[in-house]
Copies of this chain bind each other. A is one copy, B any other.
Amino acid sequence: MKATIRKAKKSDAASIHTLIEELAVFEKAAGEVIVSVSQIEKDGFGATPLFECFVAEVNEEVVGMALFYPRYSTWKGATFHLEDLIVTKKMKSKGIGTQLYNAFLIQAHQRGVARVEWAVLDWNIPAISFYKKSGAVVLEDWRTVQMDKKIIDKYISIIKSSE
A interface, CB within 8 angstroms of B:
16, 20, 23-24, 29, 32-35, 39-40, 43, 50-51, 67, 69-78, 81, 83-84, 102, 105-106, 108-109, 113-123, 128, 131, 134-149, 151-156, 159
Contacts and interface: CB of A to CB of B under 8 A. Distances in A.
Contacts of A149: 76, 113-115
A77 B43 contact: yes
B120 A143 contact: yes
24 contacts: A32-B76, A34-B75, A34-B76, A34-B77, A39-B77, A43-B77, A50-B72, A51-B72, A51-B74, A72-B83, A105-B159, A106-B159, A116-B147, A117-B147, A119-B144, A121-B141, A128-B145, A136-B146, A136-B147, A136-B151, A137-B147, A138-B144, A139-B145, A142-B144
